Amino acid sequence: MTIPDTLPGDIELRVSREPVPYRAALEEMQVRNAAIAAGEARELVWLLEHPPVYTAGTSAASAELLDPRFEVVEAGRGGRYTYHGPGQRVGYILLDLKKRARDARGFVHAVEGWVIDTLRDFGIEGFRSEGRIGIWTQDIDGREAKIGAIGVRIRKWVTMHGFAVNIRPDLSHFTGIVPCGIEEFGVTSLARLGHDVDFDTWDKALIARADSFLAALERPCPPADGKPETHE
């Protein structure tokens, strides 16, 4: 499968081959979000990787920043502290929900489902956990651990931010924060679980499920657990 540059509905699909600094991506997202809302730009799904950075959501507590060894950026999305870095696949989703079900929580639920379904294609059972934001799975020690983060913002019914999936990051980098404010559970990755997956392979599996993700946005969904989104 060749990765296309357009998804159904004339949505631009962008895959960045080199790491994109977080601040640069955030600025571009903000500009594109406003342009989509004004009817001046196409919708966008952007798959990328960042250099190491800690990002602070709107609910971030300073006590959860344990060791600011990397740059810390106010992200403007919902949620708390998150790490982004090499080996983690980030997906930014900029869609106009006015064209769809206008359901903020349903959008978050659909993003979670897109990641969970893709993980299943690699033999990993991901799941939502009540009261804990993100995508979870059983780690090699049998405990639950986070394998994917979710955080979105919605302006004038146009979405931004999205998800981050741990493909093969340096998991020690997460120890500088309390990821998403949850101390009692760790983080894991496809590599830690024994799955040798590169970005191209992950991207192709994700894109193969894009139709189902987009179809889910056409109908209101049950509320997602937790509060990872910010809507204005």
Residues annotated within the binding site for substrate are 77-84, 149-151, 162-164
Nearest one of 118, 208, 160, 180 to 30, comparing CA atoms: 160
The SS3 of residue 41 is coil
Of the residues 48, 180, 190, 216, only one is catalytic, namely: 180
According to DSSP, the β-strands at 44-48 and 11-15 are parallel
Task: Let me know: does 187 contact 84? Beta carbons within 8 Å.
Answer: no
Instruction: Establish whether 221 is a catalytic residue.
Output: no
Q: Would you list which residues are annotated within the binding site?
A: 77-84, 149-151, 162-164
Q: Are 57 and 78 in contact (CB under 8 A)?
A: yes
User: What count of other Cβ atoms lies within 10 Å of the Cβ of residue 20?
Assistant: 18
Which residues are part of the catalytic machinery?
A: 180
